Structure 1
Amino acid sequence: MPPKLPKPKPPALTHFLCIPLVTSSSRPQLQKSLATFRERLSQKGIPDLPDGLPEKAIRPLGTLHLTLGVMSLLTPEKVEGALKLLRELDIKSLFSQPSPVKFAPKLPAGPDSKVKEKEKETEGQAKPENLKITLQGLRPMQTPSKTSILYSSPLDPDLRLFQFCTSLRQTFTEAGFIEDQKKLLLHATIVNTVYAKGVKGKGTGHGKRGGAKLMIDASEILEEFEEFEFMENVRVERVAVCRMGAKPDEDGEVAYEVEGEIEVPEF
């Protein structure tokens, strides 16, 4: 039997579709909340980190975003194709799609069931409202006692944000730009220890920046910041395609390079 050929490596990921979280209204909130968070995590008392969490593990303000999908755009033609799709998006139509409430379980039959069903239909066709994001709490990407990534999730009780983001992602998936079929997890990465160079932690493995990946016991941190708000009621203003690899911009702020973006209309 001939030896099995190694599986070809997947193409390198170069860009991502996202909702940027830094706006004129969110910046003051994020600056304040990240300063509070950074001060707390720099203190002693974190298990296995007697000197606190390395500052570089906390993501810079300018990098905060909600990733909708990652892409491999290895040629200028592919980049332009993705940007063309972005520019041609009919954002308003994504808001006019049926509200998630229409997909709730059917009401049991009864004298007022038809009235309630009519109310639900009307609610699903209501005039679209601005999408606003509140980032609250902190969650681990792995287990609380052994994780390298902590993130905050947007509050989304009516699933409007999730529906909007899913529609955007689906558009790019159907066009062949996004291939990842994993379930969409809306999150803003607050801590990623892969950026903390040369700091040893428990656990094994190797991060992108070399050396053993720092794994932390975040149990106490998660409990302390369970209801902490990083930002509140910030309108979704833009959808962007960004290049991977954050770096300092003209003003010295570390951020992802924006290849192209469109504005989300205000209702």
Structure 2
Amino acid sequence: MLQRFYLLRELKAEFSKYRRTMVYWLMVLCPLAIAFFVFVINNWTMPTSLTQLIEKGKNPWEMYIIIHYRVMSIMLLPLYIAMMTGVIYGREHRNNTWKHLYALPIPQWSIELSKNIFSLLILLFTLLIYAGFVLLSGYVLSMTNPKMNLAPFDNHLGFNLLMALKVFLSMISIWAVHNWVGRRFSSFGYNIGLGLVGVISAGVLIQGWKYVKYYPYAFPALGVLDKQGIHTLFSQPIVYSLIVGAVLWAISFWDIHRRTIRA
């Protein structure tokens, strides 16, 4: 019971600590920027995959939602994770507050675990906010472009939330990598650099490398490109992401604990 109290108190402190920082701004502005970008592209190019469905009287929302999450997960979300974890841990590195935190009468595991849970919740909230922007952009598109009128059809809210959850789970392994790097190194550049390398390499390897299904940075792309498993929450890329993420997180937690004891 006391251990749970420590964790909840630390988690509450994390939410208060970052209240007026870039973390919350990124949580809203990044999904807004991505949704707006996809909205502009759809309004300008009018993809045939959408217009043909509308002309045939078929519901275009599912395809519209998939397009949004493909852009989000393949191009931008890994970099967002790198930025988010970098900002969270950068505050502690910059202010050199680790020794102060560990001097408090609080278990070390609760300090580390609360930061892990906090960053995961921020990532989840970001994707839920994005789901809301996807829905909003569909109705705005209907008003601005009569040929892209999605409004008369059911908005597939359940599928929208399913995709948000799938993308979240597919990012767990990437989060584990950047959470570890952000905690280990004080330089923000390591996280961003690794994120860029991960995104570019995944884009290249996914073109034909037979082992790409085991590459963490490719899990999100494989999850949203998998047409057969698109309606399944625990498709193969998601399962791989959870397994790899759990292993990496356990190793990173042990590594940080070991280094703290040595210090």
TM-score past 0.5 threshold: no
TM normalised by structure 1 equals 0.23
Say which structure is richer in strand. Answer: 1
Which protein has the larger Cα radius of gyration, Structure 1 or Structure 2? 1
TM normalised by structure 2 equals 0.23
Say which structure is richer in helix. Answer: 2
